[in-house]
Structure 1
């Protein structure tokens, strides 16, 4: 004699978010407690950020909240600080960048903006320069008005407009000197010049920085007979 068995699933008060109803059946999973271990991260003070910034007598500094304006005999620069750091003027006249909060990002911004501030003060008072050397037969450079003209073996000379805040001087047709009060602008324009003919590692031909060391490679040896 056949018997009929009916199974009834009662709804469980503990319902997991990973399971649900499917075809009239309700499945539930036991609830487990997961603990998290919290570790406090100690942010050390930046060795660069804690150093004071000396301000020369011929440089004027104006602070307005998080904005800094620096003016000197060579030019004028300004910067806006993030909320993680603040700038303070000491009684001695020097500047000091401090952290406003204790966090990993504040520690990173501390050293970065101290360096940027120091570059501004040095730039408007003394300036920066980058020197490049042209290596190659027929490679030469000249300045025509506000244009730097490079002959680098192409079918036509390369003409680069000189930015208004920079000065470019050429010595002996092969040495190019880029100078200015904004360090980032000087470095960017010098890198643009070098990008036309980066030095190759076999003969060293191209445009390189004056203090750059090119790692040379040995050419392929001829086939032995």
Structure 2
């Protein structure tokens, strides 16, 4: 039988010391003359969110030094350090743009993220953010005492939490909590820590939930039929 084109079959015999010199192993090898390597160029699509400009109000001041940005407004001051794949540009029209310095997948992923973080900083120091929670359950209530928020959530003792600096907490009708401030991430973290004490259960809906949260309810076990 003829050998295939571009390949040669070689046969060699190897001695096996475990089986004795009389036994031999035959190995056939195929040598390939050419190997074709295909390289595919990775194309990174530009982020839809990242390419949108950021509107800077007149009452907000920006300070850019290298990869550091400071945003100062009537409600407070925030700072952020950008990675080397991202740079900031302030246009003559007053818009702020977040751009990529390299075309890589990592830069494309961070493009939209840091544009969102930058926009949250500008909106936070100028207008602020608010997160609302609601207490559902018999005897569940909340009050603000000085710099602490006190929660009665059915435990043997009330839960007392210190309100961080830069965050304001208001309680309405003893069951509705409004957490506000200029740092969106801090507001979300503090609100989540309040909810963590008694997350809403799926049967009766008792617990602490966000005002816009939809709790999926479950049916309880039905009694045995007689």
Q: TM-score range by the shorter chain?
A: 0.7 to 0.9
Is the counterpart of residue 126 in structure 1 residue 163 in structure 2? no
Please identify runs of 4+ aligned residues in structure 1 that moved more than 3 A. 29-36
Tell me the residue number matched to 1:54. Answer: 55
Is the counterpart of residue 197 in structure 1 residue 198 in structure 2? yes
Tell me the residue number matched to 1:87. Answer: 88
Give structure 2 stretches of 5+ with no counterpart: 1-15, 18-26
The C-alpha deviation readout for 1:58-89, integer Å capped at 9, x for no partner, is 00001111111000000000101111111000
Shift of 1:34: 5.1
Is the counterpart of residue 76 in structure 1 residue 77 in structure 2? yes
Give structure 1 stretches of 5+ with no counterpart: 1-21
Shift of 1:41: 1.2
Q: What SS is found at the alignment partner of 1:154?
A: coil
**Cα separation, 2, equivalents of 1:67 and 1:151:** 43
> 1:1-225 to 2 correspondence within 5 Å?
35-225=36-226
Kindly report the root-mean-square deviation, in angstroms, between the aligned alpha carbons of the 2 structures: 2.2
**Cα separation, 2, equivalents of 1:35 and 1:183:** 53
Provide the TM-score with structure 2 as the length reference. 0.85
**Cα separation, 2, equivalents of 1:109 and 1:152:** 40
Tell me the residue number matched to 1:6. Answer: none
Provide the TM-score with structure 1 as the length reference. 0.86
